[in-house]
Amino acid sequence: MAPDKIDLDFLKKFQKLVLGYLDRKRFIIYVGGGKIARLYQNALIEFGASSKERDWAGINISRINAEVVKTLFKETSCPDVVTNPLKKLSSKNDIIIGAGWKPGRSTDYVAVLSAKKSGAKTIINLTNIDYVCDRDPNKFSDAKPLKEIMWKDFRKTVGSKWLPGLSSPFDPIASQIAEKLSLKVIIINGKKLERLNDFLNNKPFIGTVIYPVKQ
């Protein structure tokens, strides 16, 4: 979701893509707060809001965003947005929509917990970058894009702390758990849905694979 509008064109394309795979795949989709959440969180900082208060702002916005996404799949998704990843997920629906859970826990984190609960071994993270880099590209101009990286190396680049509104390819705390669970995380630029389509079709794709061990 953009700060000043909802990208309806993107949502329609995303809807069409996902529905096209329901004959062979099941989706658990967690929706984040995006840029609009960070705008509110930055405003709250100006007025002395606590980390917990800023987190709740992001959680609530992610839940509103999730309601929009849930409507895209109303014929095939659960009737309610999942806000507690510890609860048993429905086995009757091909699509489950989730959102923020509680302060201190990002939607990356709850996606990892849901993967554990459902037995999924792969998480696709649609973000705003083409690749993970070997170093923070905002700090180092010579940062190199990577097609694959092991968890132990990825965690060196993102650190070990979570902050409200943190912009990172994948949440540092979620990364620790994902590594322990031997999950594979695929980082793909969400604005380029053809890349997601390539991955789902087992074709070469533009993006980064984070592995538990070297493949």
DSSP lists the bridge partners of residue 186 as: 124, 209
In tens digits, what is the pLDDT along the chain, a chain of 215 residues?
A: 555 688 999 999 999 999 999 999 999 999 999 889 989 999 999 999 999 999 999 999 999 999 999 999 988 888 899 999 998 877 788 999 999 999 989 999 999 999 999 999 999 999 989 999 888 777 888 889 999 999 999 988 887 666 655 567 898 999 999 999 999 999 999 999 999 999 999 999 999 999 986 55
Please report, for the chain, the start and end positions of each structural domain, with discontinuous segments joined by +.
8-211
Q: 8-211 domain in CATH 2.40.128.120?
A: no
| pTM > 0.75 | yes
| pLDDT recorded at residue 4 | 66
Cα 186–chain centre separation? 10
Structure-block tokens of residue 58 = 């992001």
The answer to whether 11 touches 20, Cβ cutoff 8 Å, is no
Residues 6+ away with beta carbon under 8 Å from 40: 57, 58, 61
